[in-house]
Structure 1
Amino acid sequence: MRQHEVDGGARRAVFSPVENGARVDAVVRRIGDAIELGLLADGEQLPGESELAAQLGVSTVTLREALMALRQQGLVTTRRGRGGGSFVTVPEAPAEDRLRARLSGWSTEELRDLGDHWAALSGAAARLSAQRTEPADLRPLRRTADELTHAEEVSARSRLYGRFHVELAAAAQSARLTREQVELQSEVGALLCLVLATDEYREEVSDRHRSVISAVQDGAHETAGTLAERCVRESTARLVAVRLTL
């Protein structure tokens, strides 16, 4: 995935000011989540320290501490000298046994609660998108849906699934909804590898995403919202089913 392939509101949300409070942790989560989702591309150079600190609304000292933490997590590499700077490093996909162990830490009630929250976010984003979006705003969504159709690696499928819902929130022109989607995908995104392994379900999800896009384009806000919610609830139900086997 090249840098220009993820654009618009989703990227703006990544580099918008973080909330007050634990600033270092907030910056680490924001950039780390964006890398995990593929909103920042492997090898992409981050803005310079002064510029990035200004975009995120933090001091350069806070930013440097956050970049240090990201380097320790293997998500950022820093190069010195001419042409140097901080560069994104996309991690390898977690092994299936590690994902299953991570899923086992969730109770079925917690998964269903997360699914309810996710469905509410995506449904609201789809309804607002149908009311606010322009045809050009749908290009990232169509591109992501097309990439999902042809994605062979399960890790790529899970990133594209999550990216679609982030871009749907961006199409709603809501920075807050977009940031919440990014944070939510950091919780559930990798787990979707456990349900997207089959080509059959990958194709089903692609069809559902295209149906959402069509409803948004037609301005059918209630239909768009219902379709987005149904897509999320189906995936959550599949995760719950896997959890019950552990």
Structure 2
Amino acid sequence: MDEAGIDWQAGAIFRPVRTGNAFEETVERLLQAIKLGVFGHGDRLPAERELAARLGIGRETLREAIRSLQQAGAVESRRGRYGGTFVTYRMPPPDVADLRRAASDLGEELEDALTYRLVLEAGAAETAARRDLTAEQRAYLRRRLTDLEQAPPEEYRRLDSRFHLAIAELTGSRSLATAIAEARMRLNDLLNAIPILDRNIDHAAHQHRGMVDAILAGDADTARRATEEHLAATAALLRGFLG
């Protein structure tokens, strides 16, 4: 995980716990980071001291949360010089039955969640395009796009999530990045359950490239339109499989 990614995680997911349910919210935050693809299978989570400080919790609360995730098979702890907490969770393969179950769980909130995501991410792409991005930030966005374009089928959904979250990060607004991460989590099971279709992946690759080109060119209107087109296509695909 590169430093830019870690900086974003601190603001968008690993932000201070605010409720009285510190243990439960810590488990939720860690699972968000894993299921959104910020940390993939085999990745090491940030050090215990760093995580506890970012979440604003005690080390014992964090250890309890990690133990619970170990019992659930999502992470494992390793000792020694190269030890730490490593992700063992693997994203389940796409399945239409899973897609329909996830949609049923959302119920009438599905259209609300799709609209909310569209508004947030289109605004994020427009905002990122209006910013004077550094060379490092521009390289970071290109790297996320390249990772996605070269992704094997089993890694595609995770790297797609990281690509979209990278654009959120480049807005410079931690509040917006957090909202986009939370909006993505509402739809995460649905998005991950969409079957991998070659034609759709090719179409999405063209749209992703258009989004990145517009952001890097500082063309805010085109960045917004390209993002709206891409997310509308994803929503249409979801509705099609839900029948």
In structure 2, do the counterparts of structure 1 residues 35 and 130 end up closer, same or farther at CA, with 3 Å as the change threshold? same
Name the TM-score, length of structure 1 as normaliser: 0.85
Secondary structure (helix, strand or coil) at the match of 2:5 reads: coil
Structure 1 position 61, deviation (Å): 2.4
Contact 1:127 1:225 in 2 (8 A): yes
Partner SS state of residue 105, structure 1: helix
What are the within-5 Å matches in structure 2 for residues 87-126 of structure 1? 87-94=86-93, 96=95, 97-107=97-107, 109-126=108-125
Is residue 184 from structure 1 mapped to residue 188 from structure 2 by the alignment?
Answer: no
Change in Cα spacing, 1:16 to 1:34, as seen in structure 2 (3 Å) is closer
Give the structure 1 partner of residue 15 of structure 2: 17
Q: Deviations over 1:94-150 (max 9, x none)?
A: 46133432233333x422211111011101211211122334313233223223333
Instruction: State the one-letter code of the partner of 1:13.
Output: G
Contact 2:16 2:55 in 1 (8 A): yes
Counterparts of 2:125 and 2:16, CA distance in 1: 24
Contact 1:18 1:27 in 2 (8 A): no
Three-state SS of the structure 1 residue aligned to 2:18 is coil
Deviations 1:129-187 (A, max 9, x none): 1122334313233223223333331x422222221211100011111222222222223
Q: Which moved more, 1:138-147 or 1:163-172?
A: 138-147
2:166 is matched with which residue?
A: 167
Distance in 2 between the 1:207 and 1:9 partners?
Answer: 28
The one-letter code of the counterpart of 2:232 is R
- Report the number of matched residues: 240
Give the secondary-structure state (helix, strand or coil) at the position aligned to 1:86.
strand
Q: Per the alignment, do residues 62 and 7 of structure 1 end up closer, same or farther by CA in structure 2, a change over 3 Å counting?
A: same
Mapping of residues 22-37 of structure 1, within 5 Å: 22-37=21-36
**Conserved 8 A contact 1:129-1:168:** yes
Q: For residues 98 and 52 of structure 1, do their structure 2 counterparts lie closer, same or farther at Cα, with a shift above 3 Å needed?
A: same
SS of the aligned residue for 1:224 comes to helix
C-alpha distance in 2, partners of 1:165/1:60?
31
2:150 corresponds in structure 1 to 150
Query: Quick check: 223-232 or 3-12, which moved more?
Result: 3-12
Q: Which amino acid aligns with 1:144?
A: R
Paired letter, 2:106: W
Structure 1: where are the runs of 5+ without partners?
A: none
Structure 1 match to 2:219: 220
Matched, 1:139 2:139: yes
Distance 2:46 2:106 in 1: 36
TM-score, normalization by structure 2: 0.86
| RMSD (Å) for aligned C-alpha atoms | 2.4
Residue 7 of structure 1 is matched in structure 2 by: 5
Q: Is the 8 A contact 2:102 2:189 kept in 1?
A: no
Partner of 1:241: 240
1:9–1:119 Cα change, 3 Å: farther
Letter in 1 for 2:16: V
**Distance between the aligned counterparts of 2:35 and 2:201, measured in 1?**
19
Percent identity between matched residues is 31
**Structure 1 counterpart SS, 2:180:** helix
Per the alignment, in what secondary structure is the counterpart of residue 77 of structure 2? Answer: strand
Equivalent pair of 1:77/1:89 in contact (CA under 8 Å): yes
The answer (yes or no) to whether the contact 1:15–1:52 under 8 Å persists in 2 is: no
1:17 is matched by which residue type in structure 2?
A: R
Alpha-carbon spacing, 1:144–1:203, altered in 2? closer, same or farther (3 Å): farther
Contact 1:9 1:171 in 2 (8 A): no
